[in-house]
Structure 1
Amino acid sequence: MERGFKLLSSLVLSSTLLTTASIAAGGDGALDKVMKARGLSEADVVRAAKTYNPTGVHDKYLAFSSGGQSGQVLVYGVPSMRLLKYIAVFTPEPWQGYGFDEESKKVLDQGKIRGKDITWGDTHHPALSETDAKADGKWLIINDKANPRIAVIDLSDFETKQIVVNPVFKSEHGGSFFTQDSEWIIEAAQYAAPFDNNYHPIEDYKESYRGGVTMWKFDPKHGRIQEKDSYTIELPPYMQDLSDAGKKVSHGWGFTNSFNSEMYTGGIEVGMPPNEAGMSRNDTDYLHVYNWKKLAELAKDPKNVKVINGHRVVPMDIAVKNDALFLIPEPKSPHGVDVDPTGEYIVVCGKLDTHASVYSFSKIQTLIKNKDYAGTDPYGIPILDMKKALHGQLELGLGPLHNQYSPIDGEIYTSLYVDSQVVKWNFKTLKVLDRVNVHYNIGHLAGMESNTADPQGEYIIALNKLSIDRFNNVGPLHPQNHQLIDISGNKMDLLVDMPIPLGEPHDVVTIRASKLHPKVRYEMGTNSRTEQISEGKTLAGQERIERKGNDVKVYATLVRSHINPERITVNKGDNVTIYMTNLERAEDETHGFTVDNYNVHASVEPGKVATVKFKADLEGVFPYYCTEFCSALHLEMMGYLMVKDPNKKYESAQKLKMATMSKEQLNAEYDKTVAVNKATDDVIQSVVKFLKENHFEKHEVVKNLVTDALDQYGKIPEQKKLSDAAIKEGDFEKAVLFENMIWQYMVKTADVGIRAKDLLVKFVATKQSPEAARGEVAFNEGGCSGCHVIGKVSSGPDLTGVLGRHENGAKWVADFIKNPKEKFEDPYVKAMIDYFNLRMPDQNMKDEEVKNIIEYLKWVDSNANLF
């Protein structure tokens, strides 16, 4: 019945599209002309329509593909097959600043092996977290085949949060697979090797080399692997391969296949047959069947484990003695092992055999219960009889590899590598139903949530290793080809090719987009890798540069369209740390940051804090700027890092200029400098007056700041004496230099004094209501303070008294905050835009936040005399 409805739906769609084509052909004939010009059939048009997303329309599914040797993950939509994102995982990725900012460096550092930096990875098998054996959209994990590691990706922001190195494996392929409630992750070794880190000759292969399966304990609430609670099951030195976790009736069990039951070790360089011959002599290899739930309990007792490299290993004899480890013969050189949605059937394909083998979990359990063994392997592991464990076998074709399930009972799809086909068959009735050719040499295939207890059907993606002639020639290194296949009808229909220009994309998992709920911004000041508030969180008005010896810390903010501060001066040899907080609240307003020539970069999404560190070992002047085109004034979003050598004496350009000036010009320069100093001193005196009138001495923290300010101010009289003496001698050039020094002290005084004033305001102003206090937080964390500074004109107008500038001012301001664009043509707003050369951005404030900001502005107005 379900298949009938899907077929009818497909026919209706095709009919509708062909009718549309007929109408177009009968009208201006535009579609007919396109079809003729490009040689398209009606079927081509239908296939194009099935994958086309009009602008703004989103995909139903998201696919997460391994990025192979890039060490990354690719994300694309289905059915559009549009590439959406790279997720940086095991290797640096410049656009996202991954491996360039300090937060992501700490994640990458988790992937060091024995203290060694690993700067590349080979991502292979992604897996989505599950609840009750169904994808829940919370976490994505992926393994590194080249360097046995597992990474955890948070799907709330698509960032890598943890990398864990396997302490006993030297390589792996059979990772990573969640158990049905994401409480454990299965990672199987590949090439057998000693668990310790010592040298062992190859002649000791059977005695000293080992395979294994690591069961990583996972916290699905916080999304972290718990290394101390994890353990490894010791296995013989067969080459373990892919795994799958039991589900539903088989929950608590794991299944890992293998090759090289011959335990052949090659030696082509000494005249032995190559590995590919010696590792394929036997007709069968082994499917490992293990009760990981029982083994997890056994591993809690120190008597049942060996500790190797600080990690718990359950020896084979312990697993065997406790009826927790078994072997079943399987067709030679198998690759995929896939548990069906009910957990009853386990399908294994041997790539050197034409058959798929379907094992029955209930039959396996009966054999175990009755201790009905066909024998043991050389390590004493019980071997179950293959025929007694099988539900059945079916010949599919050449090179069967991997399987995906359908929502239709018994329906399964298998990739045939040699035949370059996907075959649809029924694993219960053991009948082939359909085939479709793909291009070329398919490896994995991916259905929609098809490796869960809730497969969706609709599509299969063929992950082809070769593309040969499918795309434009771009040189000897070709893209690989992911092909989307419609499986909604009786016959499979190949819809579209998708070149993948990042190799080798090994496996894909998919999920309904409706299950994903990624955030569009971070809580203000967040370290995205730890999900905690960063020590470098900086709001507008808090920007500062702090020096302690040779360590310089810069607390900076980024908001359209400026970086604050815009000038940073350090000494050559200083260790510089720059914390950057993106004050934006608008969606998709990312800022980037780099310092030219210093090999640092960060991507700073709204609300995020990113940190860069470097040694200022290059003397000179280096622009820094926003690397993400963010506004019309993007190019103006910049500043200068100025690195001076403290051991050098620099000739002032201003001094050189004065040396060429006439007496009259020097006199004028002196008068101008004195006037600037007078204006600056007026500001200082107004601050001093405010501090005294409001009894700053009663507040210790303010008093300390005032002491610092007066320390700087106290150095001015001596410089003034020297200036006056120079004037008396008629040396205006020297006098100007002394006046410039006075200005330096005044600026330092004003900086500290204004901070003292702002702090004192908090103590002496009327108490804020809870709403006003929340409004101030929203004002600062919402990015308003990036342009508006209360009590002074900054990048935008001073908002003191803003509620009185318009009729029904509170409503006017609230409406403006919620929808700025509607007022851009208002004469008052237009004048402000023209004057400040900035437009008010929509910061996506919630109604409650806007209401609280209005209360905060009322509080500002009631204390206007303090600002």
Structure 2
Amino acid sequence: MNSMVKRLSLAAIGALVGVSMVSADNSELEKVMKERGLTQQDLLAAAKTYTPSGGRDKYIVFSSGGQSGQMLVYGVPSMRILKYIGVFTPEPWQGWGYDDDTKKILAEGKIRGKQITWGDTHHPALSETNGRYDGKWLVINDKANPRIAVIDLNDFVTKQIVVNPLFKSDHGGAFFTPNSEYILEACQYAAPLDNNWHPMSEYKETYRGGVTVWKFDPKIGRILPDKSFTIEFPPYMQDLSDAGKEASYGWGFTNSFNSEMYTGGIEKGLPPFEAGCSRNDTDFLHVYNWKKLAELAKDPKNVKVINGMRVVPIDVAVKNNALFLIPEPKSPHGVDVSPDGKYIVVCGKLDTHATVYSWDKIQKAIKNKDFVGKDPYGIPIIDMKKAMHCQAELGLGPLHNQFGKHWKKQGEIYTSLYVDSQVVKWNYLTCKVEDRQNVNYNIGHLCGMEGKTEDPQGDYIIALNKLAIDRFNEIGPLHPQNHQLIDIRGKKMQLLYDMPIPLGEPHQAVAIRASKLKPEVRYKMGTNPFTGKPHRGKTLAGQEHIERKGNHVYVYGTMVRSHINPEHVNVNLGDTVTFYLTNLERAEDETHGFTVDQYNVHASLEPGKTVALTFKADREGVFPYYCTEFCSALHLEMMGYLLVKDPNKHYVSAKKLKMAKMSKEQLEKEYEKIVATNKATDKVIQSVVKFLKENHYEKYPVVKQLVEDALDQYSKIPEQQKKAEEAYKKGDLEKAILFQNMVWQYMVKTADVGIRARDLLVKKLATPMSEAARRGHEAYLEGGCNGCHVIGKVSSGPDLVGVLQRHKNGEKWVKEWILHPEKMYNNPYIKSMTNYFNLRMPNQGMTEKQVDDIIEYLKWIDKNANLF
């Protein structure tokens, strides 16, 4: 009987993981279970979290990265880490803090002129519409250096950092109001709001806390400091906050510890800080009407300006019935408003209770001015018992709360117990405990699936544990943190998964349904992600060039599998160099990276993105630059050279040294070789000149200007040619070769400018493009096609003049090739082309409409073939 039950149980588990246990070898599964010491409960947990290759998670979690100053993104239920987001500190993979634009964002976080190179991210918050996550914006605070960062969930990139000019720390941030009108950021450690010195003896008089109410524009995803304000609070240590919802909309709630206003002094023989600041049985919950205070702050009479920030003083808030205090359990560490805004839950970590306050009772007390007194700063205190709905005895060290799916009828809520290392499920309407789940160990925050919104999803709870101790392989004294996934869909909670976190200390996390996130998978070609507009350095294929303006060299380059253009950049020692680089790829996930060896710059170029990297060429030498992302079979070949020359230094030519060792016969051959090269180059120049003259270039001012520049370079050739011939007659072959090299240099410059003039003239002479052909030309350039195909000649890829006539049903063939090149890689013709050019055309993610337009552009090329 037991054997039959076991087989049925295994079959059930097999069904969960998609394996037919009828046909599978049960003994193999039993063998694995025995070898690894697995129970059937373990297999069930594994089945609940297993995500097949290519599968997707239902939820996405954004976790603070603690002392890394970054953020962490992972999926639920798989618990697979998907990304780190660079926020307050450099993040090399993304080039965060190593290219010009990300340096500007990090520079926004300077405090009193000082660059801060680390951060302590604590409380992430997702933007809301009608109290529900909308998947548009993410904000996170830096506790150590009071700052708020805004992350755009269109591309998961930090777009703004704002410094709080008043606070010195801000554990209690960031918390959105229900329609993302404001972000609440609470001070933690009381300090003078100005930047002056004040002695500890004046703590009560000059030290203050507060909540900054940052104005947020959800349309553009930016904090507006000039429309923000701060509410002055007493020097109690403010902690976490939550914004009221529905019934309590327009109000904010911030708890505190150290209502004793003790300041320590252990070095003077006084009791330590933690002893003095936990003497009272209760601390204070701050209750304030941010909506009313926002209106009051618009009148200069109601504010004082400190460090450029408007501050609403305590007495103004009290006078306008906008600030109150309620006693709460000592040393609280969280305040959470129920989804309907009718209840406020507070836990005291030095108390065993969770206290549930009734918003109706709080309102009634305020309306009737039913207060038990005032604090030393004149703030009315509401009677705790009269404001309370009920108290629940939960256990040791209650901290944080998340609401479950059945909050409305069953009062479903989950609380972390730090000392007991548990998650407890209870009913906040009846204050009865329903279930407990042990975790490992010393849990801090909880992350529910949208568990702090007006629409909690239930399903899972994540325990963010501070200690791992014996849970993972030993890796030295510094252990990982541990995020544990708990299934809350049944009557009893089930621990499913342990996930070590390699960043410490990830403090809090928020989770959103993946279906609400709609990020871009590529940028529009040439985009600056920080403005959403074309980057000033946007460069398309064929537009690559180098400009010098004084001692600043600008390199306009492109990157596409598998080359960087240009490949040689020559600068002088001491020059400032700016690389503008555009990733021409259109295919999803074809990211390129870029660095210059030894120059401490790096950029990540996702498809379509343009970046800028500026640095000083402060060391002489030759420095390779290359793509840092393994992007293709020829990834290692995707490189170039930065050559830094000291203009004040005399260099002995290696060629000259080489020539000094050559015999006369070898020098003769070298001379003949370069003369032949010059003749071939001149032949190209003359063909260009012929084309320009025949087509009356002089009628077009811009073309004429380019031709004049080319002729200016060409006019310098006869003198060098004469010197070369004279040296040759005298038998000085070394000198003759050097002068012929100068001839070649001028010819290359002439050809470069002349070809640009020719290409411009072609555009002037060609038949007008149809609208579809024009769009096709744009798609052709922005798709990076011009990186390999040069119209009118064979380059890194075949010439496209006449391509529509090379194949039967040419238009259909070309369309299929552009849309799905991978399907044709085995075609004999394609194989021969791939082998010849040593390159394989990638799928650039073109739409069918774009391909149709490109075909119209190719027709236009054929119509004007005589010009190419």
**TM-score normalized by structure 1?**
0.97
TM-superposed deviation, 1:428: 0.3
TM-superposed deviation, 1:310: 0.9
Residue identity opposite 1:59 in structure 2: D
Tell me which of 380, 386, 407 is aligned to 1:382.
380
Q: Distance in 2 between matches of 1:11 and 1:160?
A: 47
Equivalence for 1:762: 763
Question: What aligned pairs does 1:400-411 form with structure 2 within 5 A after superposition?
Answer: 400-408=398-406, 409=408, 410-411=411-412
Q: Distance in 1 between matches of 2:737 and 2:618?
A: 33
Q: Secondary structure at the match of 1:228?
A: helix
Q: Secondary structure at the match of 1:221?
A: coil
For the 8 Å contact 1:24–1:30, the answer to whether it is kept is no
Q: Secondary structure at the match of 2:214?
A: strand
For the 8 Å contact 2:555–2:580, the answer to whether it is kept is yes
TM-superposed deviation, 1:516: 0.6
Describe the shift of the 1:353–1:24 C-alpha distance in structure 2 as closer, same or farther (beyond 3 A).
Answer: farther
Equivalence for 1:503: 504
Q: Distance in 2 between matches of 1:104 and 1:193?
A: 31
Residue identity opposite 1:157 in structure 2: D
Question: What aligned pairs does 1:238-277 form with structure 2 within 5 A after superposition?
Answer: 238-277=236-275
Equivalence for 1:181: 179
Q: Distance in 2 between matches of 1:634 and 1:245?
A: 51
TM-superposed deviation, 1:760: 1.5
Describe the shift of the 1:28–1:381 C-alpha distance in structure 2 as closer, same or farther (beyond 3 A).
Answer: closer
Residue identity opposite 2:551 in structure 1: N
Equivalence for 2:336: 338
Q: Distance in 2 between matches of 1:842 and 1:19?
A: 33
Describe the shift of the 1:12–1:451 C-alpha distance in structure 2 as closer, same or farther (beyond 3 A).
Answer: farther
Question: What aligned pairs does 1:440-479 form with structure 2 within 5 A after superposition?
Answer: 440-479=441-480
Describe the shift of the 1:78–1:678 C-alpha distance in structure 2 as closer, same or farther (beyond 3 A).
Answer: same
For the 8 Å contact 1:24–1:32, the answer to whether it is kept is no
Q: Distance in 2 between matches of 1:32 and 1:390?
A: 55
Question: What aligned pairs does 1:92-241 form with structure 2 within 5 A after superposition?
Answer: 92-241=90-239
Residue identity opposite 2:170 in structure 1: E
Equivalence for 1:670: 671
Tell me which of 284, 287, 293 is aligned to 1:286.
284
Equivalence for 1:5: none
Equivalence for 2:57: 59
For the 8 Å contact 1:21–1:31, the answer to whether it is kept is no
Cα-to-partner distance string for 1:458-513 (whole Å, 9 max, x where unaligned): 10000110011011111110001110001001111111101111100100100011
Q: Secondary structure at the match of 2:851?
A: helix
For the 8 Å contact 1:18–1:42, the answer to whether it is kept is no
Cα-to-partner distance string for 1:522-551 (whole Å, 9 max, x where unaligned): 000011122221111000011111111211
Equivalence for 2:5: none
Q: Distance in 1 between matches of 2:807 and 2:420?
A: 76
Q: Distance in 2 between matches of 1:578 and 1:502?
A: 33
Equivalence for 2:345: 347
Residue identity opposite 2:221 in structure 1: G
TM-superposed deviation, 1:827: 2.2
For the 8 Å contact 2:213–2:228, the answer to whether it is kept is yes
Q: Secondary structure at the match of 2:227?
A: strand
Q: Distance in 2 between matches of 1:511 and 1:525?
A: 31
Q: Distance in 1 between matches of 2:136 and 2:500?
A: 28
Q: Distance in 2 between matches of 1:321 and 1:28?
A: 75
For the 8 Å contact 1:400–1:414, the answer to whether it is kept is yes
Equivalence for 2:792: 791
For the 8 Å contact 1:24–1:31, the answer to whether it is kept is no
For the 8 Å contact 1:254–1:291, the answer to whether it is kept is yes
Equivalence for 1:87: 85
Question: What aligned pairs does 1:801-816 form with structure 2 within 5 A after superposition?
Answer: 801-816=802-817
Cα-to-partner distance string for 1:678-721 (whole Å, 9 max, x where unaligned): 11111111111122222222222222211211111111111111
Equivalence for 1:575: 576
Cα-to-partner distance string for 1:159-192 (whole Å, 9 max, x where unaligned): 1000000011111110000110111100000000
Q: Distance in 2 between matches of 1:623 and 1:549?
A: 24
Q: Distance in 2 between matches of 1:729 and 1:549?
A: 41
Equivalence for 1:367: 365
For the 8 Å contact 2:198–2:206, the answer to whether it is kept is yes
TM-superposed deviation, 1:783: 1.5
Equivalence for 2:855: 854
Describe the shift of the 1:347–1:723 C-alpha distance in structure 2 as closer, same or farther (beyond 3 A).
Answer: same
Cα-to-partner distance string for 1:403-451 (whole Å, 9 max, x where unaligned): 0001113110000000000000000011110001101000001110001
Q: Distance in 2 between matches of 1:22 and 1:776?
A: 57
Residue identity opposite 1:552 in structure 2: V
Q: Distance in 1 between matches of 2:386 and 2:800?
A: 82
Q: Distance in 1 between matches of 2:157 and 2:11?
A: 41
Q: Distance in 1 between matches of 2:561 and 2:172?
A: 47
TM-superposed deviation, 1:17: 4.4
TM-superposed deviation, 1:764: 1.3
Equivalence for 2:6: none
TM-superposed deviation, 1:807: 1.4
Q: Distance in 2 between matches of 1:114 and 1:396?
A: 45
Q: Secondary structure at the match of 1:242?
A: strand
For the 8 Å contact 2:572–2:617, the answer to whether it is kept is yes
For the 8 Å contact 2:14–2:20, the answer to whether it is kept is no
Q: Distance in 2 between matches of 1:449 and 1:17?
A: 26
Q: Secondary structure at the match of 1:721?
A: helix
Q: Distance in 2 between matches of 1:223 and 1:537?
A: 24
Q: Distance in 2 between matches of 1:245 and 1:17?
A: 41
Q: Distance in 2 between matches of 1:374 and 1:286?
A: 13
Equivalence for 1:651: 652
- Mark the runs of 5 or more structure 1 residues left unpaired by the alignment: 1-9
Residue identity opposite 2:87 in structure 1: V
Residue identity opposite 2:683 in structure 1: D
Equivalence for 2:697: 696
TM-superposed deviation, 1:11: 13
Q: Distance in 1 between matches of 2:554 and 2:656?
A: 31
Residue identity opposite 2:620 in structure 1: E
Greater CA deviation, 693-702 or 461-470? 693-702
Q: Distance in 1 between matches of 2:677 and 2:327?
A: 90
Q: Distance in 2 between matches of 1:830 and 1:501?
A: 46
Q: Distance in 1 between matches of 2:806 and 2:797?
A: 15
Greater CA deviation, 706-715 or 326-335? 706-715
Cα-to-partner distance string for 1:225-276 (whole Å, 9 max, x where unaligned): 0111000001100000000011111111100000011111111111111110
TM-superposed deviation, 1:795: 1.1
TM-superposed deviation, 1:770: 0.5
For the 8 Å contact 2:352–2:396, the answer to whether it is kept is yes
Q: Distance in 2 between matches of 1:548 and 1:19?
A: 65
Q: Distance in 2 between matches of 1:14 and 1:649?
A: 78
Does residue 358 (structure 1) correspond to residue 356 (structure 2)? The answer is yes
For the 8 Å contact 1:266–1:274, the answer to whether it is kept is yes
How many residue pairs match? The answer is 857
Q: Distance in 1 between matches of 2:288 and 2:691?
A: 77
- Cα RMSD after superposing both structures: 1.4
For the 8 Å contact 2:13–2:47, the answer to whether it is kept is no
Tell me which of 36, 39, 47 is aligned to 1:49.
47
Cα-to-partner distance string for 1:554-610 (whole Å, 9 max, x where unaligned): 011000000001111111111110011000000110000111111111111000011
Residue identity opposite 1:78 in structure 2: V
For the 8 Å contact 1:129–1:140, the answer to whether it is kept is yes
Q: Secondary structure at the match of 1:29?
A: helix
Q: Secondary structure at the match of 2:158?
A: strand
Equivalence for 2:3: none
Residue identity opposite 2:281 in structure 1: D
For the 8 Å contact 1:697–1:703, the answer to whether it is kept is yes
Q: Distance in 1 between matches of 2:172 and 2:13?
A: 42
Tell me which of 396, 399, 409 is aligned to 1:398.
396
Residue identity opposite 2:41 in structure 1: A
Greater CA deviation, 362-371 or 696-705? 696-705
Counting aligned pairs with the same residue, the percent is 74
